[in-house]
Amino acid sequence: MVRRRETLCIHSDQPHRDETNALSFPIYQSATFGHTDLGGTGFAYSREKNPTRSHLEHIMSTLEGAASTSAFSSGMAAVSACFELFAPSDHIVCTEDLYGGVTRLFEVVTQKNGVTVSFVDTSDLAAVEQEIRPHTRAIYIETPSNPMMKVSDIAALARLAHSHGLLLIVDNTFLSPYLQNPIALGADLVIHSGTKFIAGHNDTIAGFVCAGTPELGDRIALIAKTTGAGLAPFDAWLVERGVKTLAVRMNQQEHNAHAVAQWLTQHPHVTEVLYVGLPENPGFRQNARQARGAGAMISFRTDTPQRAQRMLKKIHLVTFAESLGGVESLLTYPLTQTHADVPELLRKKLGITNTLLRLSVGIEAADDIISDLAQALE
């Protein structure tokens, strides 16, 4: 029987319990596992494989439609694992407007290892094609992008990538597997910061790489086991508990985000609202074609930098904090927080200025979020 997404979040595709039949899958807090014979039980050492982590990886595979998933200790560990697929002289075409930590990874680690990266607007297919070189090995995207909410056409990029023998890697953090499944659209690898919507409670750090084929999944699993950044059992349990409510949280967050975005567009001190759920957003149609919703991430611009900075001090209910996707609404100042490590020239080109704020809408009552933003904008 085919299960719907809401059901998969709670029960996965089949009942998966240990021999105690506990509804909350146990935390197997063990570094090593005794062998009963030479074949073993499939579990030997937790860096390689742990039952609690495997349980969560299976749930993520069913939600993303992946052949297999590896769970990591952070979203950045997941991104780093993907980059271990490449060798010196390889080249990657990448969304120019993406999480600043990934830009820092490229500058601090990837380039040092001889892998070069070109940053382009991946919502522009022709621009991506122009950047493909003989040594290009992958296209790496975030859609919607961070923080400018540009939408890239996943299926078209997959076709382009495959026609040149490249991998398409999609960071699906902003929409979560509940709203978007890049593998079904042709992507080879899907990355998540599990810290965000998937775990959902701002209480743990986690990451995932979901692979479209068993071969790619095995390569990532080998990197995970070898480099040793697998998700710890307790964190895997916390994330799994969070996933159970992914559907209801995401529905409420998106509902709130629509209300907040609409309200922001009417505000006299707000000069621009970037939300892919607004029909006037350039990415609205493409997002609607490839995703089941617009999510809960909104960027907006105030009329002055002073107002943006004052807002961060005046908010009460919404918290001035980095991160996104949790039940609590968070307001971020990309210039000095998430995107501080993006080179200044690129930041200016992208429009990450001192008037730009990014809001992750939580599950509080929409009216309360709006009241708080209203008083902070005065």
Structure token digits, residue 137: 């090995």
Spot the catalytic one: 3, 5, 47, 49.
47
d(CA 91, CA 110): 10
Near ligand PLP by CB under 6 A, which window of 73-81, 158-166, 235-243, 293-301? 73-81
CB of 78 to ligand PLP, least distance (A): 8
Contacts of 139 (CB under 8 A, 6+ apart): 92, 93, 94, 122, 128, 157, 160, 161, 166, 167, 168, 169
Contacts of 280 (CB under 8 A, 6+ apart): none
Structure token digits, residue 304: 């002055």
CB of 17 to ligand PLP, least distance (A): 28
Spot the catalytic one: 171, 188, 235, 372.
171
- Identify which of residues 149 and 370 has a Cβ nearer to ligand PLP in the complex: 149
Contacts of 4 (CB under 8 A, 6+ apart): none
Query: To 10 degrees, the CA torsion angle through 21, 25, 26, 29?
Result: 150
Q: What does each C-alpha distance from 323 to 48, 78, 177, 182 come to in angstroms?
A: 29, 17, 18, 22
CB of 239 to ligand PLP, least distance (A): 11
Q: What does each C-alpha distance from 115 to 142, 220, 346 come to in angstroms?
A: 19, 18, 20
d(CA 368, CA 378): 16
d(CA 346, CA 352): 9
Cα of first residue to Cα of last residue in the chain, in angstroms, is 54
CB of 193 to ligand PLP, least distance (A): 3
Q: Is residue 99 annotated as a catalytic residue, yes or no?
A: yes
The yes or no reply on residue 110 touching ligand PLP (CB under 6 A) is no
The one among 51, 75, 177, 277 contacting ligand PLP by CB under 6 A: 75
Number of residues that bind ligand PLP (CB under 6 A): 13
The yes or no reply on residue 144 touching ligand PLP (CB under 6 A) is no
Whether 209 and 220 have beta carbons less than 8 Å apart is answered as: yes
CB of 161 to ligand PLP, least distance (A): 20
d(CA 101, CA 264): 28
The one among 69, 110, 136, 146 contacting ligand PLP by CB under 6 A: 146
The yes or no reply on residue 145 touching ligand PLP (CB under 6 A) is no
Site mask, ligand PLP, residues 193-222, x = CB under 6 A?
x-x---------x-x---------------
- Identify which of residues 77 and 376 has a Cβ nearer to ligand PLP in the complex: 77
The label of the residue with tokens 């909410």 reads 149
The one among 57, 90, 97, 142 contacting ligand PLP by CB under 6 A: 142
Near ligand PLP by CB under 6 A, which window of 71-79, 154-162, 179-187, 353-361? 71-79
Q: Is residue 47 annotated as a catalytic residue, yes or no?
A: yes
The one among 171, 188, 235, 372 contacting ligand PLP by CB under 6 A: 171
Distance of CA 26 to the CA centre of its chain: 26
The label of the residue with tokens 């991104």 reads 79
Which residue is nearest to ligand PLP, using beta carbons? 75
CB of 1 to ligand PLP, least distance (A): 34
- Identify which of residues 46 and 146 has a Cβ nearer to ligand PLP in the complex: 146
The one among 51, 101, 144, 177 contacting ligand PLP by CB under 6 A: 101
Q: Is residue 171 annotated as a catalytic residue, yes or no?
A: yes
The yes or no reply on residue 173 touching ligand PLP (CB under 6 A) is yes
Q: Which residues contact ligand PLP (rule: CB under 6 A)?
A: 74-76, 99, 101, 142, 146, 171, 173, 193, 195, 205, 207
Residues labelled catalytic: 47, 99, 171, 196
